[in-house]
Chain A
């Protein structure tokens, strides 16, 4: 009677895990605990890799046309609002400025006048350095926090305290310590992108399924094998989520940090164009910053999908 309830051939492992957990509580009714909830029993994992269906032109049109229409609407509203404005550039004026700007993105007229491409590359370089350092420190730290309760309870209050602080508040500390603008900006990126990586890695380590650790125990695997065969692969998706959040924040922060520190970089470029009252260029910069951020995000999402095993 009880056994009949278990027949859910599609995917009973989730349901069973829940069942196993509830079986530990003594007072639970065996009848109710054995029944997998429809939500967990019906998750069709096979549908993750469907056969390529024939091209659905209607859906494709919806997918392509509606975003384009949205964009067109935005530009139309912008055009309408700026029709009689003398200070705010019209879409046409911005487009003309963009054509000029993108025709030569890598010119170099001294340290204060370089092409848009150079500015973006310099910003990306700072993000890469700050983020790379943050990954080097944050991911191992996350592992430690996840594995050791002592270290976890030592560091958790500090992390909770420092995480909500605006990264720009750290900039003066960076300027004081490094006595230079560039490392200070990198320091700011470091500090703002380290938290998501620490936290997500730690959560990932704590959520390594008990079953896998039991397998490791029964097999008596060495610590090295546990780390390489069980911990790393199962933490990787969490880690990549942390990395993705970090890069997003880093790209948000670099613009603000560069406005304050100066030098070559997209943030300073925006500020410089404001001082020159080149408002078209500011609008172009906003679009470019958005596109670069989107590309970074997409790149990391595709990496994350490659390492997803479920």
Chain B
């Protein structure tokens, strides 16, 4: 109970048209406050499912999830999600998208001016002040994802859940946003759980890397502690032995021990 997020014996079985699909089994994971945890694994290993369990968008078939001493029984703004494809509402401006979240969380206690200030601050935090009145289809993919992050951060969540937030971006934009995220997380001391399939991203950003075995009935194969000091600099880390060691360990897990050899025929 002393852990911030405590997942014990979680199991997830989906009822599909083709019968039952056993997605996750025996998931045991503890996350401390202020930690940055990456979930990594091959496609279809259930890492997004695990994230959705923490978000409360899915409820486990058996087992329990506890966040800050309370059982996770459904989604809520204290566990903000940054979705894979940004999920901004296309009929609202960037400001309105963030404001919708701010209003929901703080609307009961604060004045309109305060809510607007929170919204503007969140957009400034991600460097999007210049696009407050633009609609999502008027800005680039990287910018949309920034607004998605701003929306999540503006809710001052206990946990920030990110589902492959930079997966859809080009490499340069992605690197830039990763650096921004490092700075933001250092400033806000957020607890973050991020799903990724990018080994470098996982090592660069996280304190711990949770590596998942292949599905069906995937589980946590190994948890790697990343002993790199913060603040981290991607250029300096490129030759850091600890960094290279972590990177090698993840690659080794993903490709040597849990490769997708049996699927390559498909």
Docked Cα-Cα span, A251 to B90, in Å, equals 34
Q: Mark A11-50, 1 if CB is under 8 A from B, else 0.
A: 1110111001001111111111110000000000100000
User: Chain A at the B interface: mostly helix, strand, loop or mixed?
Assistant: helix
Tell whether, in the assembled complex, residue B260 and residue A218 are in contact, meaning their CB atoms are under 8 Å apart. Answer: no
Min C-beta distance of A219 to chain B, whole Å: 5
Tell whether, in the assembled complex, residue B89 and residue A229 are in contact, meaning their CB atoms are under 8 Å apart. Answer: yes
Does B77 touch A at the CB level, under 8 Å?
yes
Tell whether, in the assembled complex, residue A11 and residue B141 are in contact, meaning their CB atoms are under 8 Å apart. Answer: yes
Write out the residue numbers on chain B whose beta carbons fall within 8 Å of the beta carbon of A234: 91
Write out the residue numbers on chain B whose beta carbons fall within 8 Å of the beta carbon of A225: 100, 104
- Interface positions, chain A 196-221, Cβ under 8 Å from B, are 211-212, 214-215, 217-221
Docked Cα-Cα span, A255 to B179, in Å, equals 67
Docked Cα-Cα span, A13 to B85, in Å, equals 6
Does A284 touch B at the CB level, under 8 Å?
no
Write out the residue numbers on chain A whose beta carbons fall within 8 Å of the beta carbon of B86: 13
Q: Mark B35-46, 1 if CB is under 8 A from A, else 0.
A: 000000011100
Min C-beta distance of B201 to chain A, whole Å: 8
Does A147 touch B at the CB level, under 8 Å?
no
Write out the residue numbers on chain A whose beta carbons fall within 8 Å of the beta carbon of B215: 26
Tell whether, in the assembled complex, residue B198 and residue A3 are in contact, meaning their CB atoms are under 8 Å apart. Answer: yes
Tell whether, in the assembled complex, residue B266 and residue A29 are in contact, meaning their CB atoms are under 8 Å apart. Answer: yes
User: Chain B at the A interface: mostly helix, strand, loop or mixed?
Assistant: loop
Min C-beta distance of B83 to chain A, whole Å: 6
Does B75 touch A at the CB level, under 8 Å?
yes
Which of B3-11, B114-122, B168-176 forms contacts with chain A?
A: B168-176
Tell whether, in the assembled complex, residue B43 and residue A229 are in contact, meaning their CB atoms are under 8 Å apart. Answer: no
Docked Cα-Cα span, A24 to B58, in Å, equals 14
Does B92 touch A at the CB level, under 8 Å?
yes
Tell whether, in the assembled complex, residue A218 and residue B135 are in contact, meaning their CB atoms are under 8 Å apart. Answer: no
Q: Mark B112-156, 1 if CB is under 8 A from A, else 0.
A: 000000000000000000000001010011000000000000010
Instruction: Known A23-B48, A30-B44, A212-B89; judge A219-B141 contact (CB<8 A).
Output: no
Tell whether, in the assembled complex, residue A16 and residue B85 are in contact, meaning their CB atoms are under 8 Å apart. Answer: yes
Min C-beta distance of A28 to chain B, whole Å: 6
Tell whether, in the assembled complex, residue B77 and residue A219 are in contact, meaning their CB atoms are under 8 Å apart. Answer: yes
Docked Cα-Cα span, A18 to B195, in Å, equals 18
Closest A residue to B82 by beta carbon equals A218
Tell whether, in the assembled complex, residue A220 and residue B104 are in contact, meaning their CB atoms are under 8 Å apart. Answer: yes
* Tally of contact residues, B, Cβ under 8 A: 49
* Tally of contact residues, A, Cβ under 8 A: 43
Min C-beta distance of B156 to chain A, whole Å: 13
- Interface positions, chain B 150-205, Cβ under 8 Å from A, are 155, 167-171, 173, 197-198, 201
Docked Cα-Cα span, A247 to B71, in Å, equals 52
Write out the residue numbers on chain B whose beta carbons fall within 8 Å of the beta carbon of A31: 260, 264
Does B209 touch A at the CB level, under 8 Å?
no
Tell whether, in the assembled complex, residue A23 and residue B44 are in contact, meaning their CB atoms are under 8 Å apart. Answer: yes
Tell whether, in the assembled complex, residue A219 and residue B100 are in contact, meaning their CB atoms are under 8 Å apart. Answer: yes
Min C-beta distance of A278 to chain B, whole Å: 52
Does A57 touch B at the CB level, under 8 Å?
no
Contact of A34 among B21, B43, B57, B169 (CB under 8 A): B43
Min C-beta distance of A234 to chain B, whole Å: 8
Contact of B87 among A8, A24, A214, A220 (CB under 8 A): A214
Does B28 touch A at the CB level, under 8 Å?
no
Instruction: Known A13-B141, A30-B260; judge A6-B167 contact (CB<8 A).
Output: yes
Does A2 touch B at the CB level, under 8 Å?
yes
Does A9 touch B at the CB level, under 8 Å?
yes
18 chain-A/chain-B pairs, Cβ below 8 angstroms: A7-B170, A7-B171, A9-B140, A12-B141, A12-B168, A13-B85, A16-B84, A27-B266, A215-B87, A217-B56, A218-B55, A218-B80, A218-B81, A219-B100, A221-B104, A229-B100, A233-B89, A310-B137
Q: Please provide the 9 A-B residue pairs with the shortest distance between their CB atoms, ordered closest to farther.
A: A30-B43, A12-B168, A211-B87, A309-B90, A233-B91, A3-B198, A9-B170, A217-B75, A13-B85
Residues of B within 8 A of A (CB): 21, 23, 42-44, 48, 55-57, 74-77, 79-81, 83-87, 89-92, 100-101, 104-105, 135, 137, 140-141, 155, 167-171, 173, 197-198, 201, 215-216, 260, 263-264, 266
Given contacts A215-B87, A310-B90, 19 further A-B contacts (CB under 8 A): A3-B197, A3-B198, A3-B201, A4-B171, A7-B169, A16-B168, A23-B48, A29-B266, A211-B87, A214-B87, A215-B89, A218-B75, A218-B77, A220-B75, A220-B76, A220-B104, A230-B89, A233-B89, A309-B135
